[in-house]
Structure 1
Amino acid sequence: MTPAPASSPEPTRSFRRKAQTRAALVRAAQSFLAEGQTNTPVLEITQAADVGIGSFYNHFESKDQLFEAAVEHVMDLLGAVLDELTTDAGDPAVTFATSFRLMGRFHRREPQLSKVILHRALDVLGAQTGLAPRVRRDIQAGVESGRFTMTDVDVAVVCAVGAATFLGQLLHAEPDRDDAGTTDRATEALLRMLGISADEALAICSSPLPELHTAGLRGAVYEVTTNGVATR
């Protein structure tokens, strides 16, 4: 008789409390980042999170480290959503275009979370997690498959990440601008830069998109995993 697989141990009360404290700090940091308040003292952040200042230093060495974690949290969650929605695309050009088109719509769909990313835009390009590595992965797949003729992946990533950043800023600065149309035109331009013909780029960017569900990103609690146990 095959023994039943061992179940993951229930997180201890102490573990849950630490995870909740970290989550509260990350959420508070995201709120300040969304408002552009990067000079906020640590004490004010802990007060907003309703935790003691001593608890802050149990999780983070500095405010910058907390802000970095807050941005990575949003980017990782959004990146995971985009990955799920493009899993079955098949064509690297469609995968890249779909992710970029959905990202453009994200700026209007979740303006506060968008601003969290945009206020740390210079950190996005060099990040080892989140969106930039996914952009590089998708462009590299397009180059290796022959779909993209622009073979300097580094330059292509700079162009794509830069376009995504300034696109978000444009959509926030001009709230009456059509975000979908603007995003699709920007995506067409990037596809053509990568080597896709004008007609095909237009066809790709005119195709239906999967629904971007972002409710799970809003107010999401920072996940902490220890010994295979994840808490929210």
Structure 2
Amino acid sequence: MAEPEDSSRRPGRMLRRKAHTRTALVEATQRLLVERHREGMTIKEITEAADVGFGTFYGHFAGKEEVLEAALSLTLEQHSAWLESVVEKLDDPAEMLAVGVRLTGRLQRNRPQVVRILLRLGLSRLLSSEGLAPRARHVLNAGRVTGRLRVGDVDVALVGAGGALLGLMQLLEAEPRVDADAAADQLAANLLCMFGLPHDEARALATGPLPTAYGAVPAPRP
């Protein structure tokens, strides 16, 4: 005869199940965001995509807007973590900035649906404590401390660079004929010049070979 289950383990198991269900709902919402417009999504579609009961949804989220926000944040965090993994072996803040801008600009042609999600987040996330903002702030601050970049106020530099990058993604979204690679490289060079690098050096950093991990563009799970 099997021994009775230790009741002390049940709370932990329940918490794991709850976390698993919440993750399933967020990832299902993320997939639906990639596939369709935000306005056309229903809670029923989310729960069906997550393979959970409709009533289960309200044990985790108050409504659709809350799970949408979680899915948007997840997308931003995934892209940020991917960028960090690509540049982790670089030690030059200027090169790290250039690579980040160049790869994010190219993302529009590789994963246009994901870029639409990033555009929905917009300027409101530029000073956030999550996602791209703290990582970008770290790079800019490293450039300021080492003297490699002429940054001044880091937050002002962050919104300047981030706003320019969002503008580029919006341009590429609106103008499919624009060469995304060339445009992203040009923006990277312009930003490096803005932060004090000589034009020739900025151009070299913005047009050199990209890290080999570039091809591993993140995407929501199927």
Q: TM-score, normalised by structure 1?
A: 0.80
Taking a change above 3 Å as real, the CA distance of residues 87 and 48 of structure 1, as seen in their structure-2 partners, is closer
Confirm or deny: 8 A CA contact 2:47 2:57 kept in the other structure: yes
Of Structure 1 and Structure 2, the greater helix share is in 2
Q: What percent identity do the matched residue pairs reach?
A: 41
Question: 2:151 is matched with which residue?
Answer: 150
What's the counterpart of residue 219 of structure 1?
220
Task: Look up the match of 2:62.
Answer: 61
The structure-2 alpha-carbon separation of the partners of 1:213 and 1:69, relative to structure 1 and needing over 3 Å to count, comes to farther
Given the alignment of the two structures, is residue 135 of structure 1 paired with residue 131 of structure 2, yes or no? no
CA distance in 2 between counterparts of 1:149 and 1:22 reads: 43
CA distance in 2, matches of 1:38, 1:24: 20
Cα deviation per residue 1:195-230 (whole Å; 9 max; x = unaligned)?
Answer: 111111111111100132345x32338xxxxxxxxx
Residue ranges of structure 2 left out of the alignment (5+ in a row):
1-11
1:33-56, CA deviations, whole angstroms, 9 ceiling, x for partnerless residues? 443324744344334434223222
Task: Tell me which structure has the larger Cα radius of gyration.
Answer: 2
Name 1:173's counterpart in structure 2.
Answer: 174
Contact 2:126 2:162 in 1 (8 A): yes
* Alpha-carbon distance in 1 for matches of 2:37, 2:85: 30
Q: Report whether the alignment pairs 1:22 with 2:22.
A: yes
| Letter of the 2:27 counterpart | R
More deviation in 176-185 or 19-28? 19-28
Distance 1:214 1:38 in 2: 30
Unaligned stretches of 5+ in structure 1? 1-11, 222-232
Tell me which residue corresponds to 2:127: 126
Amino acid at match of 2:194: M
Q: Structure 2 vs 1, CA of residues 100 and 110 (structure 1 numbering), >3 Å: closer, same or farther? A: same
Alignment of 1:99-114 (within 5 A): 99-114=100-115
Structure 1 match to 2:92: 91
Q: Which moved more, 1:26-35 or 1:79-88?
A: 26-35
Deviation, 1:193, is 1.1
Alpha carbon RMSD of aligned pairs, Å? 2.4
How far has the Cα of 1:170 moved from its partner? 1.2
Partner of 2:3: none
